[in-house]
């Protein structure tokens, strides 16, 4: 009967059950925060912090949790079975076991682990002192098991303290989580992702194409160069012999300064080849990241991009590469005004539009009256109209507006130029191709 059950049994069972639940929460919290968050907290709190000990020897804490959980579970189950048998008799043991399993599963596993995931740092701060004390009490057992673990790992030729690495995909997930939680701003999140994208993006996707290169013949005079610089505001220009495929160097506006300071020098008598620097060539298959590294090491702002046959494919500047990370960079010579989020007015008839810009506002800016409720962004709209994700340079004409894709990746349109065509040049709906 109930009279033979001492209150100590209930107290002991409750303590063991609570210990099991606490250790379950602590184990999940450790695996949630390890290794980077634990190292971050340890660095802030110093070498006297329990987080510092955890970062240096997580196995000790996890072994203690495993031993403690096992002991608590066995003892609490044994005690509960003994009490239930005395109260209800041997025939009820099946029902009691089922009920105990459900209670244990929810209150000692699911609930604690959920707390460990969503409130990992708070859980560890509360429970680490207790686990550290248990580790001291259970030191002989824990030390023996740690030795056995080390022996087995050595036998299997596996490193016990392998260096923890993070893959690119894991890093992206960490950044996305930090962005969602507000730890970093959306701009910082985009910045990090754009840096990671540089490794997988080839220079050909970033460069100024061959047809848009502004270059000078090697026989052009400094006066010609000065005139071209005043018109284009390009301070660096390639120079070539006979054709653009024979680029022999790059001329810099700063090289003109010493001649401009000397009135007696006739700029028409000096050719650009005389003051040109050597050109730096890179293959179009080179990654944007590698190109950025090479240009940084060589302290260059411009590189000539060549195809597999050695012909000129385009050119890339340091600004082009940096814009892949931070977005469009405008200087004092760029006549561009941001009118809405991601919509930049070049002049009354031309706009630069981000693919992520709101479609309704973009259509209003270019004076297009279309009933497009299906899409929210310019990228989604253009991908639908073009029958897939377009490539750089693809063009489509919709009513009186020509859309030219300036930048696109494998998933979306990043930047497009929209030009309002005069009435006499309207081409109706359709593609102009590429």
pLDDT in tens, 382-395: 999 999 999 888 99
Q: Across residues 215-242, what is the average pLDDT?
A: 90
Same domain, 317 and 190: no
Burial group, residue 283, by CB count within 10 angstroms (0-12, 13-18, 19+): middle
Q: Across residues 95-111, what is the average pLDDT?
A: 86
The pLDDT tens digits for 11-54 are 898 899 999 999 999 999 999 888 878 988 999 998 888 999 98
Whole-number pLDDT of residue 297: 94
Position 319 in a domain: yes
* pLDDT above 50 (res 430): no
Q: What CATH code is carried by the domain that includes residue 354? A: 3.30.465.10
Same domain, 407 and 296: no
Closest C-alpha to 217, from 236, 239, 232: 239
Whole-number pLDDT of residue 131: 92
| Of 294, 326, 358, the domain-final residue | 326
> What are the DSSP calls for 224-266, one per residue?
HHHHHHHHH--SEEEEESSSTT-EEEEEEGGGGHHHHT-TT--
Out of 153-157, 265-269, 335-339, the most confident range is 265-269
Task: Supply the pTM of this predicted model.
Answer: 0.57
For 136, the token pair is 């001291």
Closest C-alpha to 388, from 376, 380, 378, 377: 380
Give, rounded to a whole angstrom, the gap between the first and last alpha carbons of the chain. Answer: 90
Same domain, 100 and 113: yes
Closest C-alpha to 337, from 327, 348, 321: 348
* Greater model confidence, 138 or 218: 218
d(CA 106, CA 112): 8
Peptide bond before residue 35 is cis, with ω within 30 degrees of 0? yes
Q: Which of 57-61, 363-367, 420-424 has the lowest mean pLDDT?
A: 420-424
Position 210 in a domain: yes
* pLDDT above 90 (res 185): no
Same domain, 217 and 287: yes
* pLDDT above 50 (res 88): yes
d(CA 56, CA 47): 10
User: pLDDT band at residue 249, thresholds of 50, 70 and 90?
Assistant: very high
Q: How many domains does the chain have?
A: 4
Residue 187 CB-half CA count within 13 A: 2
The pLDDT tens digits for 112-123 are 999 999 999 999
Position 230 in a domain: yes
Which residues are 343's β-sheet partners?
Answer: 340, 353
Same domain, 227 and 175: no
Same domain, 299 and 382: no
C-alpha 327, offset from chain centre: 15
Q: Across residues 71-95, what is the average pLDDT?
A: 81
Same domain, 50 and 70: yes
The pLDDT tens digits for 266-278 are 888 899 999 999 9
DSSP H helices, 138-167, are 139-155
Which residues are 72's β-sheet partners?
Answer: none
Position 55 in a domain: yes
Position 332 in a domain: no
Same domain, 342 and 388: yes
Same domain, 389 and 422: yes
Same domain, 353 and 390: yes
Question: Cα torsion for 139, 142, 143, 144, to the nearest 10°?
Answer: 130
Same domain, 60 and 139: yes
Q: Compute how many other C-beta atoms are within 10 angstroms of the C-beta atom of residue 295.
A: 19
Position 285 in a domain: yes
> What are the DSSP calls for 11-63, one per residue?
HHHHHHHHHHHHHHHHHHHHHHHTTHHHHHHHHHH-TTSHHHHHHH-HHHHHH
Which residue segment(s) compose the domain that 188 sits in? Answer: 168-198
C-alpha radius of gyration, the chain, whole number? 34
Whole-number pLDDT of residue 87: 76
């Amino acid at each position: 009967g109930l009279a033979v059950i001492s209150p100590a049994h209930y107290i002991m069972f409750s303590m063991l059950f609570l210990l099991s639940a606490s250790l379950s929460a602590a184990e999940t919290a450790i695996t949630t925060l390890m290794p980077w968050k634990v190292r971050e907290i340890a660095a802030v709190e110093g070498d006297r912090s329990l987080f510092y000990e955890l970062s240096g020897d997580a196995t000790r804490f996890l072994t203690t949790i495993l031993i403690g959980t096992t002991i608590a579970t066995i003892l609490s189950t044994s005690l509960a079975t003994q009490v239930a048998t005395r109260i209800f008799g041997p025939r009820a043991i099946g029902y009691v076991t089922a009920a105990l399993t459900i209670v244990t599963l929810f209150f000692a596993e699911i609930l604690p682990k959920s707390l460990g995931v969503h409130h990992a740092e708070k859980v560890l701060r509360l429970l680490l002192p207790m686990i550290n004390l248990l580790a001291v009490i259970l030191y002989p057992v824990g030390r023996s098991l740690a030795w056995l673990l080390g022996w087995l790992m050595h036998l299997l030729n596996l490193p016990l303290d392998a260096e923890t690495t993070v893959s690119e995909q894991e890093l992206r997930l960490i950044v996305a989580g930090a962005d969602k939680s507000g730890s970093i701003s959306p701009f910082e999140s985009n910045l990090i992702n754009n840096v990671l994208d540089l490794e997988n993006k080839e220079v050909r996707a970033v460069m100024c194409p061959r047809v848009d290169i502004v270059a000078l013949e090697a026989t052009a005079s400094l006066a010609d160069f000065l005139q071209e610089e005043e018109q284009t505001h390009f301070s660096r220009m390639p120079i070539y012999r006979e054709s653009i495929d024979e680029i022999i160097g790059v001329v810099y506006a700063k090289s003109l300064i010493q001649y401009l300071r000397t009135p007696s020098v006739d700029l028409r008598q000096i050719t650009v080849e005389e003051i040109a620097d050597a050109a730096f060539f890179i293959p179009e298959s080179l990654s944007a990241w590698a190109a950025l590294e090479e240009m940084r090491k060589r302290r260059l702002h411009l590189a000539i991009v060549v195809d597999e046959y050695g012909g000129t494919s385009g050119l890339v500047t340091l600004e082009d590469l940096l814009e892949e990370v931070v977005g469009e960079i405008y200087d004092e010579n760029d006549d561009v005004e941001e009118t809405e989020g991601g919509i930049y007015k070049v002049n009354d008839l031309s706009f630069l539009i981000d693919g992520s810009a709101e479609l309704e506002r973009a259509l209003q800016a270019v004076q297009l009256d279309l009933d497009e409720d299906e899409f929210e962004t310019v990228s989604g709209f253009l991908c639908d109209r073009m029958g897939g994700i377009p490539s750089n340079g693809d063009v489509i004409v919709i009513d009186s507006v020509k859309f030219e894709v300036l930048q696109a990746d494998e998933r979306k349109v990043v930047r497009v130029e929209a030009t309002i065509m005069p009435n006499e040049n309207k081409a109706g709906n359709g593609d102009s191709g590429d």
